[in-house]
Chains A and B, each alone.
Chain A
Amino acid sequence: MSELTKPVAPRTTVLGRWRRTLGNLMGTRHGAIGAIILLMLAAVAISAPVVAPYTPLQQTSVSLAPPSSEFLFGTDNIGRDVFSLILYGAQSSLLVGLGAALAALLVGGTIGILAGYFRGPVEAVLMRVIELFQTLPVIMLVLCAVALFGSSFSLLIAAVALAIWPMEARLVYGQYIKLREREFIAAARVADLSTTHIIFREILPNAAQPVIVQVALDASIAILIEAGLGFLGLSDPSMVSWGQLLFVAQDYMDTAWWMSVFPGAAICLAVIGLNLFADGLNEVVDPRSTRGMGGLQ
């Protein structure tokens, strides 16, 4: 509770605090494993054109070939190399995950800040809007957007962001409500600092860490949603994605298990990586969240 007693936000140490956070993160087992998985996936996504034996469009001579030394994960119904497809798929999955999470942070963060900082009617209206969005099931919301406006890659990101921003908004709003009552904010007000200054220099650095945790979780949800859209055959047809591979696999379940197993495992890995990363970060940010009681005696 020592933060409570500090009259001024410890601004000078923000950078140091982040460095320490990162250090501690790698110290937690979850965080380290998560970070390694994510780095690995990022490396795969970036280096796909170099590493992948085939391009996504290239058709080999054999279709539906089982995994072998030549085709590590087998080939699909039109003879494409599943291993290469998965490497390329990492690009779109990670891009959608990251893009949608950041877009959600931007939209949700802004609305959360506005709702949290200004009270009264602004707060009431914005909270109702958030509530409205949360009334529609996430998948319905995304499907609706895609159904009505199509599924080019950027629209896809927008659609996923549309579905997940309310969570971000609620979190940021909650952080603000908590922080605006804190003493150093009151001190800043008394010192007659401008509203923007208070928001961006005093509150933001202090609200950032739980928000980052939420962004990582959002990214994992975004990847799952994107995979779902792909699986429904509604993702951008010009990009390879893991979900899309599962969509095709649906018709070959009886003959080619590898078309389903490997892309699915890739989705799993990405989601697990992001969740472990978030868990580790959470452990560092809020040590109380880890269990200390040792169960029921």
Chain B
Amino acid sequence: MSDLAVSDGAPDAPLLEVKDLKVHLRVADRLVRAVDGVDFKVDTAECVGVVGESGSGKSTLIRAISRLMPNLQVDELSGELRFEGRDILRMADRELRTLRRSRGFAMIFQDPLGYLNPTQRVGRQIAEALSPDGRGRSEHRRVLDLLDEVGFADPGAIARRYPHELSGGMRQRVMIAIALASDPKLLFADEPTTALDATVQLQVLETLYRLHKERNMAVAIITHDLGVVAELCDRVYVMQAGKFVENATAVDLFERPQHPYSARLVELSAHRLDFRGMQQ
């Protein structure tokens, strides 16, 4: 396929397209094929889930796609990675930064405390991520709007807080606000609710879902929790030992899992889902 053939606006071109991605890591002198030949795509405004147990390579996958890998331990990183048709794997740093700053992709993480700078006020950390295109609004105003958008009742007070002064759920909302600041077309979420209390998990998921719909923002969510997938996703990839064993719509996965591994995952989560369904 010619690189130039895929144009930005082509109706059937996916927002993100990954072909034959391989990420081999060197861990203590051993070769680990964390991601081993994976095809993956996310369409505009679509919500995609990647499920798998811990160690299945899903975190490495998302770090590689978002190009946030720690470099030196990578033994091999190959394949094709296209965002809006542009090759991000071989993209220059400067171009990549532009993409992250504005209308590109952003990311939220599992442990919001560790991923927020402890010595900076929350407002400043959000302001730092704002896209250069402010449409005439002041930075402060935009920060407050973002905090409002992720569901804070008193954005002014929150902006002046430090991360350690917030609860886990609040921190994750702040992380989401930071991610939204660049007005991304695609949001990567790496186990966004795993570190949170059960009650807070649902709130954060609802917020994510609302933003996904309101902003027409594509979301790629990594999780070991099929419940999360059931809440949010249109389509699901099931990952095992660095490979995708199934790619299906969320409904199909739950009703007709094709691969025995997926079937087991679905079965295991069934009880919890029932329980959650009763709660709602």
Complex contact flag A–B (Cβ < 8 Å): yes
Any A CB within 8 A of the CB of B198: no
At the interface, is chain A mostly helix, strand, loop or mixed? loop
A292 near B71 with CB under 8 A, answer no
A293, B69: Cα distance in complex, Å: 10
Kindly identify, within residues 268 to 297 of chain A, every residue whose CB is under 8 Å from any CB belonging to chain B: 292-294, 297
Residue B5 at the chain A interface, CB threshold 8 Å: no
Write out, one digit per residue, whether chain B residues 61-81 have a CB within 8 A of any chain A CB (1) or not (0).
000000000111100000000
Q: Which residues of B contact A297 (CB under 8 A)?
A: 70-71, 93
Interfacial residues of chain A within 170-205, with CB under 8 A of chain B in the complex? none
Instruction: Output the nearest chain A residue to B67 by Cβ-Cβ distance.
Output: A297
Chain A: CB-nearest residue to B74: A294
Q: Which parts of B30-71 form the interface with A (CB within 8 Å)?
A: 70-71
| Residues of B contacting A: mostly | loop
In whole angstroms, how far apart are the Cα atoms of A297 and B73 in the complex?
Answer: 13
Q: What are the residues of chain A within 8 A of B73 when measuring CB–CB?
A: 292
**Once bound together, how far apart are the Cα atoms of A297 and B100, in whole Å?**
15
- A292 to B71 CA separation, bound complex (whole angstroms): 9
Determine how close the nearest CB of chain B comes to the CB of A283; give it in whole angstroms: 14
Q: With A and B bound together, what is the CA distance between A98 and B64 in angstroms?
A: 50
Which residues of chain A from 42 to 72 have a CB within 8 Å of any chain B CB? none
Give the Cβ gap from B264 to chain A, nearest Cβ, in Å.
Answer: 26
What are the residues of chain A within 8 A of B72 when measuring CB–CB? 292-294
Separation in Å of the B78 CB from the closest CB of chain A?
18
Nearest-neighbour CB distance to chain A for B70, whole angstroms, equals 6
Closest to B71 in A: A294
Report the Cα distance A287→B28, complex, angstroms: 10
Distance of A294 Cα from B73 Cα, bound (Å)? 9
Residues of B within 8 A of A292 (CB): 70, 72-73
Contacts of B70 in A (CB 8 A): 292-294, 297
A294-B71 Cα distance, complex, nearest whole Å: 7
Tell me the complex Cα distance, A297–B70, Å: 8
B71 contact set on A, CB distance < 8 A? 294, 297
**Smallest CB-CB separation from A297: which chain B residue?**
B71
Which interface residue of A292, A293, A297 has the most chain B CB atoms within 10 A? A297
Please give, as numbers and ranges, the residues of chain A lying within 8 Å of B93 by CB-CB distance.
Answer: 297
Q: How far is the CA of A293 from the CA of B71 in the complex (A)?
A: 7
- Complex-state Cα separation, A36 to B70, whole angstroms: 35
Q: How far is the CB of B46 from the nearest CB of chain A, in Å?
A: 29
Residues in B whose Cβ lies below 8 Å from that of A293: 70, 72
Within 8 A of A (CB), among B118-151: none
A294 to B26, CA, bound (A): 14
A294 CB contacts on chain B under 8 angstroms: 70-72
Report the Cα distance A52→B73, complex, angstroms: 51
A292 to B26, CA, bound (A): 11
**C-alpha spacing A110/B93, complex, angstroms:** 54
CB distance from A290 to the nearest CB of B (A): 11
Closest partner residue, chain A, to B73 (CB atom):
A292
Q: Digitize A3-23: 1 where CB-to-B-CB distance is under 8 Å, 0 elsewhere.
A: 000000000000000000000
CA distance A293 to B73 in the complex (A): 8
Q: B interface vs A, CB < 8 Å? A: 70-73, 93
**Can you show 11 pairs from A to B with CB atoms below 8 A apart?**
A292-B70, A292-B72, A292-B73, A293-B70, A293-B72, A294-B70, A294-B71, A294-B72, A297-B70, A297-B71, A297-B93
Given contacts A293-B72, A294-B72, A297-B71, 4 further A-B contacts (CB under 8 A): A292-B73, A293-B70, A294-B70, A294-B71
* Closest 4 A/B residue pairs (Cβ): A294-B72, A294-B71, A293-B70, A297-B71
